[in-house]
Structure formats: structure tokens, C-alpha cells
Amino acid sequence: MIKRVIAILLVLINLGVIHAQEFRCAVSVNYQKLMTTTQSYESSDKKVFDNMKQALEDFINSRRWTNLEMEQNERLDCSFSIILSERTSATDFKGQITMQLRRPVYNSNYTTGLFNYIESNDFQFVYNDSQPIDFDPNTFYGNLSSAVSYYLYIMLGIYFDTYAPNGGEQFYEMASTICQTADQQQTYKGWNSRESAKARYWFMENHTNSAYASLHSAYYLYHRMGLDMMTKDQPQARKNIIAALEALQQVHKTRPNLLSLQQFLDVKITEIVSIFTPAPAEEQKQVYDIIKEISPINVSKLKDFATK
């Protein structure tokens, strides 16, 4: 583990990334649905939602989530949005949580998406305007704290996987601990594997199950050996990106329709088209055949590659 952390730090130093707190996250709280339903709503309640937004931003951006130090301008660029649909009491809410994570590409002004996910519309939580949002991986302080923290560690895992082989391992393990702690409460939906194929459990499982080790290789090959090399050696960078897709193909053979694999491709498919549009026909055919196998829902976006 120590060697892996050192390797990550060396990579970050070479990319001009050195030392500080981890996230630069923008939070939005949308309460428009509460205003258009028969639920009790007063204009003075806007302060509660403004405070919720600010409390979440402080929770994410001011807390130390790792032992690493990063400069202010190198914090992970992400966003969270909570779309409220119900308010059953002064402190009980229901809605939908969405999140995005982006990563800078070395030696360019380009930013690539890493994680873009929308939960189903049954995220329930308690928010008390007079109490801080707190967190401990082994203590359940509430569904809001646990869900946000869980996804932050999934994001950290993905982000560091893109910089070093298996670089995100320790962060996925933290997400696993949070998931187990929350599930033990048996109070809120979204944590248990038996509930849904898109339960929070599965992102953690997909990234900690050794059967899907190629998923971590895909993140590294696609980003560090692919996108980060585009300004230096485009042909080799494209070959490495194809190798990343082949790694995903191996995951697919082990378990078709893996949630994390599909999330990867949903975020990347437009970018993949852009990267390989000027590529040789042989490479376009390789990409088309892989996507056709592992993500049929996205293959239509590569229709121009089909005749190569």
C-alpha cells in the first residue's frame, strides 16, 4: 500500500499536481417540485434549502477525506445536485441525487468526464438546519452524510485509478465500509444488493471484486496512457485506449452489464467517437466491434465506423 501511494504521488508530481484538501465541489439543491405540489411550502423555507446547499458544500470541500495533500487549484472537480420531490416534515426529505466528476488531461485545456450518475428518485434523508452534517465511516450519522461520503470515495477511487495501476484501492475500501455501516441500519433504501441492480452496493462491489480487476486497468490505460499521451504520441495513445476497451471487454465476459462498466461507457462514448473519427479504418473497426459486444445501447453512436 505504501509503495502504491508513493507511486501515485510521483505521478501527480510529474503532472504538476502536488499538495491540499481534495474536492472543489459545487452543490445545488433544487426545490421547485415542492413549490408546485400540495405540500406545505412557505417562502421562508428557502433559507433551509440555501443552508442545506451551503452545509453540503462545506461538508465536502472543507473536510479532509484522505491523507494526501493537494494544492487548491488541483482539487477534484465535481458536482452534486439534490432534486427534492417530497418534504414530509420539517426535517424529512425525499428526492434524487446526481453527481459528476471531471479530470484534467495532461498538457491540454481539455477536461474529461470520469463519473456521471443519476440515482433513482427515492433518496430519503433527514436534514436539520440546526445540526452540522457529520461523518465517520464506522458510524451512521444519517443517510445524507453516508450517501454523499460513499460517492466521494467512489470518485476518489476512480480518479486515482486513472493515475496509477490500482491507485484507488484504499478509497474503494472506504466506500465499502460506509456501505456496510449504512446497510446495517436497515432504515433507508439504496444500500442493499438485493434491492436493485443499481443499489449503491454495486459500485463498491464492482471496484473491490478481484474478478473485475481489468476495470482498474481500463481506467489507467484510457486516461494516463491514453488521453494524457495524446499531445505526445496520438497513434500510441489510441492503441492504449483500445487496450482499455479490451480490458472492459474482459470484464464484460466475466459479467455482462456490469454497472460500473456501463457507467464508464455512458460517460466516454462521445469522447471515444471524437478520438477515433480521424483514426485509421482498422482502429475504427476494432472500437466498433468491442462496443457492439459490451454496450449495444451505445453502438449506434459509432455507426460511421461500422462499414470500415
Tally of CB atoms within 10 A around 56: 21
E-assigned strands of 88-238?
92-104, 111-118, 123-126
Does residue 234 contact residue 261 with C-beta atoms inside 8 Å? no
More confident residue, 38 or 252: 252
Judge whether residue 89 has pLDDT over 60.
Answer: yes
Judge whether residue 18 has pLDDT over 60.
Answer: no
Q: What is the pLDDT of residue 43?
A: 59
Q: What is the pLDDT of residue 46?
A: 85
Nearest-angstrom CA–CA distance, 200 and 205: 9
Q: What is the pLDDT of residue 286?
A: 96
Q: Quote the Cα angle for 35-41-47, to 5°.
A: 95
More confident residue, 273 or 13: 273
Label residue 36 exposed, middle or buried (CB < 10 Å: 0-12, 13-18, 19+).
exposed
Paired strand residues for 188: none
Tally of CB atoms within 10 A around 37: 12
Q: What is the pLDDT of residue 8?
A: 52
Tens digit of each residue's pLDDT (9 = 90 or more) over 184-208: 988 898 898 888 888 899 999 999 9
Label residue 31 exposed, middle or buried (CB < 10 Å: 0-12, 13-18, 19+).
buried
Picking from 169, 160, 172, the residue whose alpha carbon sits closest to that of residue 201 is: 172
Judge whether residue 38 has pLDDT over 80.
Answer: no
| Three-state secondary structure call for residue 28 | strand
With bands split at pLDDT 50, 70 and 90, how would you rate the model's confidence at 19?
very low
Q: What is the pLDDT of residue 40?
A: 54
Q: What is the pLDDT of residue 36?
A: 72
Q: What is the pLDDT of residue 194?
A: 86
Percent of the chain with pLDDT over 70: 91
Tens digit of each residue's pLDDT (9 = 90 or more) over 220-271: 999 999 999 999 999 999 999 999 999 999 999 999 999 999 999 999 999 9
Q: What is the pLDDT of residue 4?
A: 53
Domain locations along the chain: 1-208, 213-308
Tens digit of each residue's pLDDT (9 = 90 or more) over 94-147: 999 999 999 999 999 999 999 999 998 889 999 999 999 999 999 999 999 999
Label residue 308 exposed, middle or buried (CB < 10 Å: 0-12, 13-18, 19+).
middle
Q: What is the pLDDT of residue 20?
A: 58
Percent of the chain with pLDDT over 90: 76
Q: What is the average pLDDT value for the chain, to the nearest integer? A: 90
Judge whether residue 13 has pLDDT over 50.
Answer: no
Nearest-angstrom CA–CA distance, 13 and 257: 36
Q: What is the pLDDT of residue 116?
A: 96
Judge whether residue 10 has pLDDT over 60.
Answer: no
Q: What is the pLDDT of residue 59?
A: 97
Q: What is the pLDDT of residue 120?
A: 82
